[in-house]
Structure 1
């Protein structure tokens, strides 16, 4: 049951890397086939990311009001249908509109999967579960560009969206057949606009929550700057083929995956805050090294190692910052998850086009990435100072209590006493 739950939530949380990374190798080809500019093709990415942000702001509170399954199922249907439509888009302008709708559907999977983890786990157990999801989130960027590159060998970029439609349909069926309702009726909150806005206002007024949300969001901007700009930089500036780019992209993604698993292991001895601080130190080091490599003209061999460090740091920072941000939000997990996702994808989506503003230079991309790493560290140390996080003992009990809820059948509510069993907060260190 627990493995099935983790696999389904991992797939849902991987919507962003799958929907973005799989068509990155096709960017240069799409400009020619659709008669579009580089900026217009990048706009299909930016639009998708912005709609991911807005969609989470809608789906999160809806899941607090109506349960997790109804808005999740609706979002998966929208994602599958619009993915098919994207495959037949006649122009870049139409593709931009369809990608916006596709992002709204994907947002439900991303935000609700986080809320369901918060429904079932707390403390270190929650941080470990988020770290384990980084295995899927790290694997998705590895296989997505490879799949996209292979699709490009046998068909056009349109085939990528056909594959995304299939993935969306499979996750829809998995949700219908294998994912229980994790938010009992007794814990749901009315879907009133005023109440939702008050929840958001309370969260935004919480300095510690805002600090963790901005830490993950600003570092996410570094990742998205890399995602948005690396296709053109590595292929057009450094001359890699689509297949070589997919390989380099995959190697960098391995760093995220390894860091996530290292995080899960280190949580036995280290606090989540210590891992966030360590990850930010690695990110700043990697960002500075990337800028030096480009300015000094050290070539691809000089750029890739520090860039690998920066990208890998995401696997340490984001799962732990997310767990710390959600720790005290048991009653508004959907809204809190939505606000975390909103800041991540909105900041990432708005800054990503800057990575491609340099034309034949890699400098804008690495400056964006390095600056984001420094700002993320400033948000963390400036806004969350004094927050002690969680102890690393007694987490096994919380994890087992949450895991026991997974015995509920798909579509059946988790009993309220079971849902609250895993919510016991661990004492501060």
Structure 2
């Protein structure tokens, strides 16, 4: 684990299992930090006498802003140091959440928690780009999705069981412990950005990389495609507790199973994508998966509007939509990073900031247009899935050696 593979020669098939497991866990930090307490949100709202959805919004605000800071820092100092600091911040923030007594306190600590959590997925993506070529990076990202998918499956199930025997505070104490475990695991993670490849300019100048990224049409096309898709995904993540638990009366302990079935679809498509990326261009795979997602979400909105199929129609159409994440996330991220390999840290930060910051848009739209039915969630999902497809439609196929 101490030797650093050379970019272009590192093979996904020969990558150490421990390396994959640690990066997969880092990629899972966002999902784990939010999904694990979804079943407890109604209880939190009562206890804290406020809107529990603000805890999701606060986390995403902190997550979005902090990534833009950590990106240039990682390009300048390497990947490991920001990760160690990030895990400490995450653990401290989790303790703060566990000890919160009102909605203002927990939103503050959720923002603080996000300052550390964001280093996980952002730097995991950057490390993959440090080591692998375009197609190999897509394969590795698909592999990591399989590992990280454990979090959104286990999270709601575990959270639902915890609130049966304890309170929501215990969920955040558990997150603090997980942060400590991840801090220790980083000892076995190698540095992937060699000193000679680090940004030599001052950190102030390094932040100007964001302006060049925003002006890079190809990079932004793939990044916005992923961003719009995640607006739709977060509309479901944030809106589904209300739809399933309140509107359809599903028990909070069973909510986790309905949420988890979507992640099984993501895992299955990630396995398929590992084989497809060596036969087809990333662009064609991204467009194909986006078309399927559009069809599923249009069906979702129509069925909900006409009140056909009840909860079953939502579960089935959302399953198809969510499953496409196994292709869309890996291909769009790999294609975007391939456009700017010389500033992968800043690029990964901007991707992550827009990807997870998209959840803020979802939360605000759900709050502003809420009508007491699943319709608001459905049309937001359909609208932004369509936008995700349209923005990537002009992309030209680009083949590179595996």
Give the TM interval when normalised to the shorter protein: over 0.9
> Which residue of 1 is the match for residue 17 of structure 2?
3
**1:289/1:306 contact within 8 Å kept:** yes
Q: What TM-score results when the alignment is normalised by the length of structure 1? A: 0.88
Matched, 1:222 2:232: yes
Distance 1:352 1:257 in 2: 26
1:372 has 2:375 as partner: no
Unaligned runs of 5+ in 1: 396-429
* Alignment counterpart, residue 284 of structure 2, candidates 234, 249, 274: 274
Deviations 1:326-369 (A, max 9, x none): 01322201000011011112222222332354252101101110
Looking at structure 2, the residues matched to 49 and 7 of structure 1 have their Cα atoms a distance apart, in angstroms, of 24
d(CA) in 2 for partners of 1:281, 1:234: 26
| Greater displacement, 127-136 / 269-278 | 269-278
Deviations 1:104-137 (A, max 9, x none): 1101112111111111111211100001111123
Give 2:297's match in structure 1, choosing from 274, 287, 290: 287
Residue matched to 2:398: 389
Any idea what SS the aligned residue of 2:302 has?
helix
Q: Identify the residue that residue 359 of structure 2 maps to in structure 1.
A: 348
From 166, 173, 176, the equivalent of 1:162 is: 173
1:149 touches 1:243 (CA, 8 Å); kept in 2? yes
- 2:372 match: 360
- The number of residue pairs the alignment matches comes to 386
**1:181–1:43 distance in 2 versus 1, CA, 3 Å:** same
1:128 counterpart residue number: 139
Do structure 1's residue 73 and structure 2's residue 84 form an aligned pair? Answer: yes
Secondary structure, in 3 states, of the residue corresponding to 2:372? coil
Report the equivalent of 1:426: none
CA contact (8 A) 2:245 2:251 kept: yes
Deviations 1:51-81 (A, max 9, x none): 1111111111100001111111111100011
Query: Which residue matches 1:42?
Result: 53
For residues 180 and 201 of structure 1, the distance between their equivalents in structure 2, rounded to whole angstroms, comes to 30
Shift of 1:191: 6.0
Q: Give the Cα–Cα distance (whole angstroms) in 2 for the partners of residues 355 and 139 of structure 1.
A: 27
Superposition RMSD in Å: 1.3
